[in-house]
Amino acid sequence: MTDGELYIERRRHKRIDRKLKVSYKVIKGEEEVREIKKNITKQGGESTDISLGGIKVDGDIPGNQGDVIRLEVLVEGRQEPITTFAEVKWIKGAGKDKCFGLEFLILKDADKKLIEEIIGE
């Protein structure tokens, strides 16, 4: 931002910094959807912030902007993870500094309520 420019927050949902363990798998067609139903290897990362609209994840992603991924977010004190599908909105960095932003496509009511509790809303 240069001198004289104003920053305008455009996010629709409150976001907090929170580290959570995340695993994910890029979905790339019907064959991939069938693979979801099998015991497949997932990649892992860690979130750096979360909101009702999405999550930022530090880690490598084998996909591209616009891809849909199946996402599991592990929350301390809860046995079942938040499980949802999300769209990759952006990818930044390289190597160990790579991170990406995900927009949740759907959330179960129970998971939405849990995220609201996490962010204090």
* Domains held by the chain: number: 1
**Residue 3: inside a domain:** no
Element (H, E) at 87: strand 82-92
List Cβ neighbours of 20 (8 Å cut-off, separation of 6 or more): 46, 47, 50, 55, 73, 74, 75
What's the rounded mean pLDDT across residues 4-27? 66
**Residue 2: inside a domain:** no
**Residue 8: inside a domain:** no
**Residue 10: inside a domain:** no
**Residue 5: inside a domain:** no
Whole-number mean pLDDT of the chain? 80
CA-CA-CA-CA torsion sign (117, 119, 120, 121): negative
Amino acid (one-letter) located at 81: P
**Residue 27: inside a domain:** yes
Kindly give the pairing relationship between strand 21-27 and strand 68-74.
antiparallel
**Residue 36: inside a domain:** yes
Domain that holds residue 63: 15-119
pLDDT tens, 89-106? 999 988 888 999 999 999
Token representation of residue 31:
């064959």
Terminal CA-to-CA distance of the chain, rounded, Å?
Answer: 30
**Residue 1: inside a domain:** no
What CATH number is associated with residue 25? 2.40.10.220
Task: Evaluate if residue 84 carries a pLDDT over 70.
Answer: yes
Task: Evaluate if residue 60 carries a pLDDT over 70.
Answer: yes
Token representation of residue 85:
């599908």
Full-prediction pTM beyond 0.85?
no
